[in-house]
């Protein structure tokens, strides 16, 4: 059981860390969007991702658990938020209102898709493997 | 009497059974599902209604006070579901009797949510998408109503799990998008955050009118909270989730809708968002918003229909109700351009009878059974399972429901306008119920007609 928990803990950390890094990249891109509207968009979506991943990452890292399910729940809660914000980037990055310069908008659009697909894949895979409902 | 664990869930989603412990969900799960129901463009439009009455500051206060009323009432009706693990239509077997519960269930969810409002919301979805993208046939009212209706049917068909998953992926982003929409509207019109507070109509409506408006928006939703709260891992999970989501987030949504309307001058804020260059975002706001709400309407409707006509399983009822609603929205209104007013009028009339159902339930669960029958433990107040006997009709309950509904309806008319119609209906039904049932019980007069024994299937 301990080995299983350790293995899952590592996998969960990698997932959350990936989301955290992607969120940080969007924050770094914020000043490069070319317009204050794009800047604030990246700031709001990016900060939510960074907070949701940043808060849960230490929890997943140090939480003492009896079984994998107890680790899966916080991991999935964090992944849901990041995945949902990924939808945010997919939808808004190319919207004319935000006036984001095309290369940056394209990067944000791609990051959004990566977060969405990665998040969904991880959520479904964890849910199936651990037996925790998707809507945790 | 067989135990609940041995009973097979014939109809799906525990339509006629209590939810087993293995299926219970976290408080967060319930919160997200309630938030999904609230995430609807109609909630933003409702904020537009408030904007015609008040300045921004007063609007916020009115929305908060109205939502506190809704939060408390909904928390009270959610608790019996959390305690007994039974849905609304099962709970009503006690205060209304078995057949009375069928009538009450059909009024509050079967016909209202499952048919009428599903059709109206689907049509509203078609209308909004056609306004955002007027040049594409796939976005026409008829086409969008049809594919929108089908989308909404999918998660309702899957059941609670499907509704939950959709809420998880939609809710966080949907609310962020609303906030983005608010600031975009202010930014686009050049109104600063400070100047925003000065926005408002020249003549303000009385405070009570706005509270009436807010309470009326979601009073019906309060009554069917147990459909979700019965899944709560704690007894109070549903009550807490309901109260927080209504008091905090519905207030925010009304506020956002109101400010966007005042800033842009357009009552259709989704179209306004699209016009300032938030096209895909506005469309997603409409699609996901309607989807997460209307699938719940259909799901609750199917639960209700199973409790009345158990000839079909819950999923079959989803398909039947969904197809009828989609045809009304897409063909009747969308293709032939016929008015949905008759459906809306009928829905509003039925809606007058929804709050008194909650009034009778609250009076029975919290007062009659606790203080008159002396059942202290809430878990013992309502019992379910094969072999359980119910009255066919609970006479005081049915009288309370009918009279409360009529009073609620009368007070919506200008000549009899008094107080908050939904609250009038709740109080009249609750008080009348107690005034009838308590003396009858004390005098030994039978207040239930007939006996209905629950079958193995829970029907």
Instruction: Look at B156 and B2; give whichever has higher pLDDT.
Output: B156
**What residues of chain A lie within 8 A of the CB of B170, using their CB?**
84
Do the domain assignments include residue B36? yes
Residue B21 at interface with chain A, using a CB cutoff of 8 Å: no
Task: Give me the number of domains chain B comprises.
Answer: 1
Helix (H, G, I), strand (E, B) or coil at B75: helix
**Count of CB atoms within 10 A of residue A25's CB?**
16
What pLDDT, in 10s, does the model give residues B311-322? 899 999 999 999
Q: For chain B, what is the mean pLDDT?
A: 87
Do the domain assignments include residue A135? no
Beta carbons of A84 and B28 less than 8 Å apart: no
Stretch among A30-39, A41-50, B195-204, B369-378 having the lowest mean pLDDT: B195-204
For residue B2, what pLDDT is reported?
A: 41
Beta carbons of B171 and A87 less than 8 Å apart: no
Residue B240 at interface with chain A, using a CB cutoff of 8 Å: no
Nearest neighbour of B165 by CB, restricted to A44, A48, A135: A135
Task: Give me the number of domains chain A comprises.
Answer: 1
Residue A84 at interface with chain B, using a CB cutoff of 8 Å: yes
Distance of alpha carbon B254 from alpha carbon B242, whole angstroms: 17
Do the domain assignments include residue B192? yes
Among B63, B72, B37, B264, smallest CA distance to B171 is for B37
Beta carbons of A45 and B170 less than 8 Å apart: no
* Domain that residue A92 falls in: 2-130
Beta carbons of A44 and B179 less than 8 Å apart: yes
Do the domain assignments include residue B159? yes
Mean pLDDT of B256-283: 77
For residue B350, what pLDDT is reported?
A: 76
Chain A closest CA to B395's CA: distance in Å? 41
Q: Measure Cα distances from B420 to B70, B160, B219, B425 in Å.
A: 12, 33, 11, 9
Do the domain assignments include residue A95? yes
Distance of alpha carbon B280 from alpha carbon B322, whole angstroms: 26
Do the domain assignments include residue A136? no
Distance of alpha carbon B373 from alpha carbon B371, whole angstroms: 6
Residue B171 at interface with chain A, using a CB cutoff of 8 Å: yes
pLDDT tops 90 at residue A17: yes
* Domain that residue B128 falls in: 22-453
pLDDT tops 90 at residue B134: no
Do the domain assignments include residue A11? yes
Q: For chain A, what is the mean pLDDT?
A: 92
**What residues of chain B lie within 8 A of the CB of A89, using their CB?**
none
**What residues of chain A lie within 8 A of the CB of B281, using their CB?**
91-92, 95
Residue B78 near residue B227, CB atoms below 8 Å: no
Do the domain assignments include residue B459? no
Residue B179 at interface with chain A, using a CB cutoff of 8 Å: yes
Do the domain assignments include residue A75? yes
CATH number at residue B213: 1.10.4160.10
pLDDT tops 50 at residue B3: no
pLDDT band at B335 (very low <50, low <70, confident <90, very high): confident
Q: What residue in B sits closest to A43 (Cα-Cα)? A: B180
Chain A closest CA to B459's CA: distance in Å? 28
Q: What residue in A sits closest to B171 (Cα-Cα)? A: A84
Beta carbons of A95 and B278 less than 8 Å apart: yes
Do the domain assignments include residue B8? no
């Amino acid at each position: 059981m301990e080995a299983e928990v350790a293995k899952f803990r590592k996998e969960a950390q990698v997932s959350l860390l990936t989301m955290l890094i992607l969120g940080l990249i969007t924050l770094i891109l914020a000043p490069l969007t070319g317009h204050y509207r794009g800047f604030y968009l990246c700031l709001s979506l990016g900060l939510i991702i960074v907070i949701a991943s940043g808060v849960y990452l230490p929890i997943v890292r140090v939480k003492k658990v009896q079984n994998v399910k107890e680790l899966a729940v916080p991991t999935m809660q964090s992944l849901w938020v990041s995945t949902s914000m990924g939808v945010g980037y997919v939808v808004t990055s190319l919207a004319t209102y935000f006036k984001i310069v095309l290369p940056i908008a394209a990067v944000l659009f791609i990051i959004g898709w990566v977060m969405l697909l990665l998040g969904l894949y991880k959520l479904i895979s964890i849910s199936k493997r651990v037996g925790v409902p998707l809507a945790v | 009497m067989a135990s609940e664990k041995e009973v097979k869930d014939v109809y799906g989603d525990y339509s006629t059974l209590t939810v087993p412990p293995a299926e219970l969900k976290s408080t967060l799960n319930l919160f997200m599902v309630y938030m999904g129901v609230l995430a609807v463009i109609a909630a933003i439009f409702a904020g537009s209604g408030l904007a015609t009455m008040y300045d921004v500051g007063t609007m916020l206060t009115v929305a908060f006070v109205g939502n506190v009323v809704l939060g408390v009432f909904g928390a009270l009706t959610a608790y019996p579901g959390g305690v007994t693990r039974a849905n609304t239509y099962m709970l009503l077997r006690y205060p209304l009797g078995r057949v009375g519960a069928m009538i009450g269930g059909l009024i509050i969810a079967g016909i209202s949510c499952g048919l009428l409002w599903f059709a109206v919301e689907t049509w509203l979805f078609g209308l909004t998408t056609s306004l955002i993208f007027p040049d594409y046939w796939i976005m026409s009212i008829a086409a969008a109503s049809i594919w929108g209706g089908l989308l909404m049917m999918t998660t309702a068909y899957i059941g609670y799990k499907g509704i939950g998953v959709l809420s998880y992926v939609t809710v966080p982003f949907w609310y962020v998008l609303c906030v983005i929409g608010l600031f975009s509207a202010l930014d686009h019109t050049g109104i600063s955050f400070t100047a925003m507070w000065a926005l408002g109509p020249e003549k303000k409506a009385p405070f009570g009118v706005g509270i009436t408006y807010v309470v009326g928006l979601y009073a019906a939703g309060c009554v069917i909270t147990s459909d979700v709260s019965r899944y709560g891992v704690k007894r109070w999970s549903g009550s807490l989730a309901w109260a927080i989501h209504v008091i905090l987030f519905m207030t925010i949504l009304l506020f956002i809708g109101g400010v966007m309307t005042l800033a842009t001058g357009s009552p259709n804020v989704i179209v306004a968002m699209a016009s300032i260059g938030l096209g895909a975002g506005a469309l997603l706001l409409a699609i996901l918003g309607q989807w997460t709400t209307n699938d719940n309407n259909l799901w609750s409707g199917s639960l209700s229909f199973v409790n009345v006509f158990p000839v079909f399983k819950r999923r079959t009822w989803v398909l039947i109700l969904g197809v009828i609603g989609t045809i009304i929205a897409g063909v009747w209104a969308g293709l032939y351009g016929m008015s949905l007013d008759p459906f809306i009028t009928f829905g509003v009339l039925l809606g007058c009878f929804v709050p008194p159902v909650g009034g009778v339930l609250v009076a029975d669960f919290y007062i009659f059974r606790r203080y008159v029958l002396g059942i202290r433990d809430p878990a013992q107040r309502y019992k379910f399972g094969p072999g359980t006997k119910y009255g066919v009709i609970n006479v005081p309950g049915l009288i309370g429901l009918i009279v409360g509904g009529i009073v609620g309806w009368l007070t919506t008319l200008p000549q009899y306008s008094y107080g908050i119609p939904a609250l009038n209906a709740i109080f009249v039904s609750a008080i009348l119920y107690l005034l009838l049932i308590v003396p009858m019980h004390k005098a030994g007069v039978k207040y239930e007609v007939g006996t209905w024994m629950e079958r193995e299937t829970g029907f």
